[in-house]
Structure 1
Amino acid sequence: MKISVVIPAFNEEAVIGRCLEALLNQTSPADEILVVDNNSTDRTLEIAERYRRRGVRVVRETRQGLVPARNRGFDEATGDVLGRIDADTVVEPDWVLRLRSAFADPTVSAVTGPSWFYDAPLRRTGLAGQRLFCHQVNRMLAGHPMLWGSNMALTRDCWREVRDHACPGPDIFEDLDLAIHLHRLGRRVRYEENLRAPVSARRIAGSLRELHHYLRTWHHTYSMHGQRRAAVGARAVKALGLVLLFPSVTLMLRAYQPYEGTLSIRRLFSRASEARPIP
C-alpha cells in the first residue's frame, strides 16, 4: 500500500517546516509527500523547496483557493491512499502507520481523526472540544461521519469517483463538502480515535468578526447541499459557541505562553489588542 500525503499551502512560512519535519520522521514513512504552493507571497515556497533533497515534491497551483490546491495535490499524487493535512498540522510519529492499519480494511473509503491545539493550554480539553464540535455535532446534524481537513485520507479510487461531485468553492467547508458527497455515493468514512494530528489554534485566536466570518461557511455548506435542518443546527451551535465560549477562550489564548506551557497575566495585558495571524 503506497501512501501519499498532500499539504495545500498559502503563505505558511511560519509553520510549513515543522509540518514537514513531523511527516519525515514517521515510524512508517510516507511513500510520497506533496506540498502544493498556492501563490504564496512569503517564504513558503523557498522553505518547501529545501525539502526536495529529502524526497518532498513541490508543485504549484495558480488557481487561488484551498479547493483547487487540494484537487491539484490529489490529482498529482501517485499513492493508493491520499492523505490530506494542513500546513500547520504536526502529525504524531505513528500517523502514517495508523493510516496503513485503517486502510487494511477494504471496505473503508476514507478515514479521519481528532486533533488538539499544540499552541494552547488544556490539551485534553481541546481534544474533547474538537472531537465534540467537529465530529460528533456534525455527525448528529448530517446523520453520517464527517471529515476533518487537517487530519484525513481517502483512497485513490474514492477520489476518482468523488472528484467531479465535489463542489468548487470557495465559500464552503471543503472537508464537509467531501464527506457529504462520499455519503451520497455510498462510500464508508471511518472515524479513527487514535489517528491524531495536533494543529495550531490560530484560527480561533483571531477576532470575533474573523471567526464569525469563517464559521458562517459551516451552515452555508449545509444549505447549498439542501440540508436545511443541518444548516439551522449549525447556526445555533455557532451562535452558542461564539457567545458562551469565545470570550474565555480568547483570554486564555492571549495569556498562554506556548514555549513555557504556562499562563501569564502580564502577557494577557501586553497582547490584549493583538491577534494571532489567521491562515
Structure 2
Amino acid sequence: MLPTLSIVIPAYNEEKVIEKCLLSCVTQKELADEIIVVDNNSSDATAKIVRRLQRLHPEAHIRLLKETEQGLIPARNHGFRAAKGEIMGRIDADSKLGDDWVYTVRRTFAKKSIAAATGPVAYHDMPMPKVGLAFDKRIRQALYNSAKDHTFLFGSNMAIRKTAWLQIQELVHRDEDDLLHEDIDIALSLFRKNLHVVYDQHMVGGMSARRLEDKPRDFYNYVMRFERTFQAHDISSANARIPIFIYLMIYFPIRTLRKFYDGDTNKFTLSKLREDIREIAERI
C-alpha cells in the first residue's frame, strides 16, 4: 500500500506566485491527501487567494494555517506538526510541481528504508526551462554521487517521512538569526542519524529564479549559507563547497539574462532594464 502524502507550503507575502503553485498541486496526475499552506503573517492577498482556491478545489483538501512567529522555520515546523500524511512534501510558494510529482513521491517512499528524497528543478520563469532542467539534473546527480561525508535536500523540491522528521526535530537548528539553509540543515541532521536520503531524477519540481535578482552582496550572503550550515554541524567538506562555486559562477550571466526576460509572460522585454535606468536616474 502506498503511503499518504501531505504537501506543506510556508508562505509570506506570496500573492504573486501562490496561485500558480497551488494549481500545480491540484492538477496532479494523482492528488496528495492534503495541501497545507502556512500563512506567516502575510500582509498581502496570499490568504485570500488560498481561501478562493479552497472553495474552487474542495477535492484537493487545501488547509490554510496561521503561524504568528515570523520566519520560515516556525512556519515549516507548524506545517509539519499539522501534517497528517506519512510523507511530508516540502516546497516553496514559488514552486510549480511536475504533473506526476505526487505519483513519483508516493512510489519513491514505498521503499520503507527511504527517509527523505529530493529531485531536480526547472526554472519556470526563465527561457528554455527544459534546457535548465537537463543542466540541473546533471549537477544534482553529480553532487549526490560525490557526497560521501554528508547529504543534501533541496527545499523547493523535497519530501521527508514523518517518522524521520520526529527523529531529527530536536537536532535541526532554530536559526533565529536566519543564517542557515534549513533544507541542508534537515539533510545533515538525517545524515547524523544514519537515515537514508535519495536523489530521484524523476521527482521534478519547478521554481522561480527570482533569487538571482538579488543584489550581489545579498546573493553572496545567501550562497554562503551553505558554508555556515555545514559549520553548524561541525562538518568540513570540499564537496560541500561545490554548490557555492556553481551559484557564484552562474549569478552574473543569469541575472543579466533576467534583465531582458519577463517570467510572468515568458517573453523577452526591456521593461526591467528601463526600470533600473529610471531608478539610477532618480538617485543622481
**TM, length-normalised to structure 2:** 0.87
Matched residue type, 1:3: L
Contact 2:144 2:199 in 1 (8 A): no
- Among 100, 109, 128, the residue aligned to 1:122: 128
Residues 51-200 of structure 1 mapped to structure 2, 5 A cutoff: 51-53=53-55, 54=58, 55-131=61-137, 136-137=142-143, 140=146, 143-169=149-175, 170-200=178-208
1:25 to 24, 27, 44: 27
Unaligned runs of 5+ in 1: none
Aligned to 1:248: 253
- Asked if structure 1 preserves the Cα contact closer than 8 Å seen for 2:120 and 2:137, the reply is yes
Provide the rounded CA distance (Å) in 2 between the counterparts of 1:194 and 1:239.
25
State, as a whole percentage, how many aligned pairs show the same letter.
33
Q: Per-residue deviation at 1:47?
A: 1.2
2:8 paired residue number:
6
Deviation at 1:256, TM superposition (A): 1.7
**Secondary structure at the residue paired with 1:90?**
coil
User: Does 2:49 align with 1:47?
Assistant: yes
SS at match of 2:10: strand
* Residues 135, 44 of structure 1: alpha-carbon distance in 2 compared, 3 angstrom cutoff: farther
- Name the aligned partner's letter for residue 75 of structure 1: R
Structure 2, unmatched stretches of 5+, are 280-284
Change in 2 beyond 3 A, CA 1:57/1:259: closer
* One-letter amino acid of the structure 2 residue matched with residue 50 of structure 1: R
| SS of alignment partner, residue 121 of structure 2 | coil
The 2-side partners of 1:263 and 1:87 are apart by 24
Q: Does the 8 A contact of 1:142 with 1:230 survive in 2?
A: no
Partner secondary structure for residue 237 of structure 2: helix
Compute the RMSD of aligned alpha carbons: 2.4
Q: Contact 1:134/1:148 (CA < 8 Å) preserved in 2?
A: no
Q: What is the identity, as a one-letter code, of the residue corresponding to 2:274?
A: S
Structure-2 separation of matches of 1:24 and 1:64: 27
TM-score by length of 1: 0.88
1:238, distance to aligned residue in structure 2 (A)? 3.0
SS at match of 1:33: strand
2:232 and 2:278 mapped to 1: Cα distance?
35
Partner amino acid for 1:33? Answer: I
Q: Is the 8 A contact 1:82 1:155 kept in 2?
A: yes
* Aligned partner of 2:212 among 195, 204, 207: 204
How far the C-alpha of 1:206 sits from its partner, in A, is 2.2
Report the number of matched residues.
Answer: 271
Amino acid across the alignment from 1:32? E
Deviations 1:215-273 (A, max 9, x none): 12111111111113349x52x7635743x432221111111244664545x45642445
Gap change, CA 1:142 and 1:274, over 3 Å in 2: farther
Gap change, CA 1:134 and 1:213, over 3 Å in 2: farther
- How many Å separate the matches in 2 of 1:241 and 1:16? 25
- Kept in 1, the 8 Å contact 2:223–2:247? The answer is no
